Amino acid sequence: MKVIYDIGANNGDDIPYYLIKADLVVAVEANPGLCEQMTSRFSCEIRNDRLVVVNCVVTDTNVSGGINFYIHKSNHVLSQVAPPCPRDADCFDEVVLPALPIIDLVRKYGDPHYIKIDIEGCDAKILRSLFNEGVTPPFISAEAHSAEIFALLVSCGGYSAFKLVDGGSVAKQYARRLIFQSTTRDQVPYSFPYHSAGPYGDDIDGKWMTTENFMRRLAFEGFGWKDIHATNMVAADSLAKPSIPDFFFRVVVGKARILVRQLTRFLRLRQ
């Protein structure tokens, strides 16, 4: 049975895609309000044992009692475990939520086929906990906010084939795609919504890069709103290398779009 873990499921926008790819989806989210939304939105899938929604703070160790969590009042994607800085404290509501170690989740629901980790600054702790317990799923991803994520995937996870998904361009780049359904192998039309994590595995464009070549790509593009995807199921293609012209073209186009929006806004204000 293929099990996908969506760690940091947010409002559940990735779940429809994961349901296409897996027999069971385990969606884990700390924000109780977002869990209620997912429970209502996917009530049929929950009844049919295709989806489990777990409301907790995922941790790397056992935590007695609850754990403090900070829910952003106006932008739920900014909710976090770490206390906000004093100047932003008024933007958050502090709540106490149940905590559950990542390894306990895996033991309860089964070996993962794919794990997506996106929990605002805690990705590295969860990766390290999984790898220390010998959990190295065929496919895994985490947000690329620092070199530590890539280092953990290579040194502790033993992964050697990588792809990168740019969060800001997912909705445009992966619109109107045909996705192979896991159980039937039928092709299902699907468009990834804005702010979703996007595809994983071979649904991501491009070939799997070697560790060395992927490190070069990270050096070109930097860190930020990007997900590093790794696999131990597919051999990397040594000929797949980062394209410097393509990277600079994307940068120029991106800056040009920002400039056009700024000019449009300015001209509207002048009218």
**Helix/strand/coil for 87:** helix
Q: Are residues 249 and 153 in the same domain?
A: no
**pLDDT (0 to 100) of residue 121:** 79
Query: Which long-range contacts does 48-51 make (Cβ < 8 Å, 24+ apart)?
Result: 49/24, 50/19, 50/23, 50/24, 50/25, 51/15, 51/19, 51/24, 51/25, 51/26, 51/27
Q: Are residues 230 and 250 in the same domain?
A: no
CA dist 218 and 211 (Å) reads 11
Can you list the residues of the chain whose pLDDT is less than 70? 243-271
251: Cβ–Cβ under 8 A, 6 or more apart, which residues? Answer: none
Q: Are residues 193 and 251 in the same domain?
A: no
Q: Are residues 213 and 261 in the same domain?
A: no
Q: Are residues 266 and 185 in the same domain?
A: no
**What Rg do the C-alpha atoms of the chain give, in angstroms?**
19
Residue type, 182: S
Q: Are residues 73 and 134 in the same domain?
A: yes
**pLDDT (0 to 100) of residue 110:** 97
- Residue 33, CA atoms < 13 Å, CB-side half-sphere: 12
End-to-end CA distance of the chain: 60
- Report field, pTM of the whole predicted structure over 0.95: no
Q: Are residues 258 and 178 in the same domain?
A: no
Query: How many structural domains compose the chain?
Result: 2
Question: What tens digit of pLDDT does each residue of 176-222 get?
Answer: 999 999 878 889 999 999 989 999 999 999 999 999 999 999 988 88
Q: Are residues 217 and 143 in the same domain?
A: yes
Can you give the residue range of the structural domain that contains 270? 241-271
- Residue 61, CA atoms < 13 Å, CB-side half-sphere: 3
Q: Are residues 104 and 57 in the same domain?
A: yes
Q: Assign residue 63 the CATH number of its domain.
A: 3.40.50
Question: What tens digit of pLDDT does each residue of 96-125 get?
Answer: 999 999 999 999 999 999 999 999 879 999
Q: Are residues 148 and 269 in the same domain?
A: no
Q: Tokens at residue 248, please?
A: 């600079």
Q: Are residues 267 and 207 in the same domain?
A: no
**pLDDT (0 to 100) of residue 199:** 98
Q: Are residues 193 and 223 in the same domain?
A: yes
